[in-house]
Structure 1
Amino acid sequence: MHTYPLPPAELKGEGMTSQRARDRLAAVLQGAGIRDPRVIEVIRNLPRHHFIDQALHSRAYENDALPIGHGQTISQPWVVARMTEAMLEHFEGRRDMPRKVLEIGTGSGYQAAVLAALAAEVFTVERIEALLRQARRRFRQLGLTNLRSRYDDGKLGWPDEAPFDAIILTAAGDTIPSRILDQLDPAGVLVAPVGSPSRQNLIRMRGDGQGDFALEELGPVSFVPLLGGIG
């Protein structure tokens, strides 16, 4: 697991954004069933308030999704933790961390920053340019050097860097786009919400290395829709 450089003083937080608030969130996630200590530790140390508007800082360490503009949200911390944990479970007994992870839907950048502490390289794609500009500024401020971002249609993935050991989608479609599936290593894992706006499930697809993937349902979730194009 990577360790984050010490953040600038203005990112450390105080009061409702202090380390004590992050500790409380970590305890909530453990109580809600998150078991992987690496995931808990990353969330305990990552300043979530850095990824949202200042007007919402007092709610940064609540276990809730929050708006980030452009019709998008920063995911509920439990969902970020569960998706990350579901990814890491695939690599148990193989190696400490996946080498290359693709995220579809950068949004605020929070999920990508969590992944950057737990993978050798992270590639994240965002279709809304204004959100990506903000996320890139946050990545620079946190000193994340193993994370690359791209402004593009997320449904296209990042074919130039394929194959990926793991792929995470942070928006829900009726199915997983075939172009994204084609970029998954045969022994890799994909974690994504799938379904209609009224009924979504978190799924995990785990490859056996021979071209077959086992599908698991991990429980109901609620995500923004997976859209094509750029905006």
Structure 2
Amino acid sequence: MAFIPPEPTYSFSSDDTGARHTLYLTEKAEWQFTDKEKEAIEVFYTRTNRGNKIACMFVRCSSNARFCILFSHGNAADIGQMSSFYLSLGTRINCNIFSYDYSGYGVSTGKPSEKNLYSDIDAAWHALRTRYGISPENIILYGQSIGTAATIDLASRYEVGAVILHSPLMSGIRVLFNTKRTWFFDAFPSIEKVPKITSPVLVIHGTEDNVVDFSHGLAIHERCPRAVEPLWVEGAGHNDVELYSQYLERLKQFVSVELVN
């Protein structure tokens, strides 16, 4: 349930030195870029502390962006599939976007697991910091669905510019059962880590989400020490929040007004 890697929607090809990689999208990616758009996308590999090689993507959407979003996507997508969304979102809210594929997703090696998930975002964080020299205060961590587990884990250990949690889950067991406690065998116990986040947190959730119930978003929001006004999207489910106009409006307000002031 937690991990449903799709058939890879992209591949990397390397030059003669093996240092520079080029992105190729398959038809499954449902989007092919123009040459100009391709120039905005840089791809490479980085290695995790658990020995996996993960695919990374930097999308330069704006030449004057103050913030870069470190985006952790949902469980049934890869960065090839998400790349057109990254370009569109970053351009509209004036942010560059950095993303990565979890172990076992896309062209990343290894297998998806909870431990690998935390290791993967750690590797992505360090790659973003060292390769591009971006300061923590200019990084926004964005997690969607299972990506919120990775995002919350990292945000509980580092102070960043801000955190966006899109359809977050309290924990794995709580998605399946209505339990008030965190069991020792539970996976992704985000609800226990959220109080340690010292950055501003925006929670976004659809009120009709039938995958991760709306109550998860409410509980996560209540536990965040620096929660900002959330976005509860009336009538939205788990996979269509981005289609509502208030989604983009709230992100623009958060990034361009609230974080700047």
- What band does the TM-score fall into relative to the shorter chain? 0.3 to 0.5
Please give the TM-score of this superposition, normalised by the length of structure 1: 0.36
> Counting strand residues as a fraction of each chain, which structure ranks higher?
1
> If the length of structure 2 is used for normalisation, what is the TM-score?
0.33
Q: Between Structure 1 and Structure 2, whose CA radius of gyration is higher?
A: 2
Higher RCO structure (Cα 8 Å, ≥6 apart)? 1
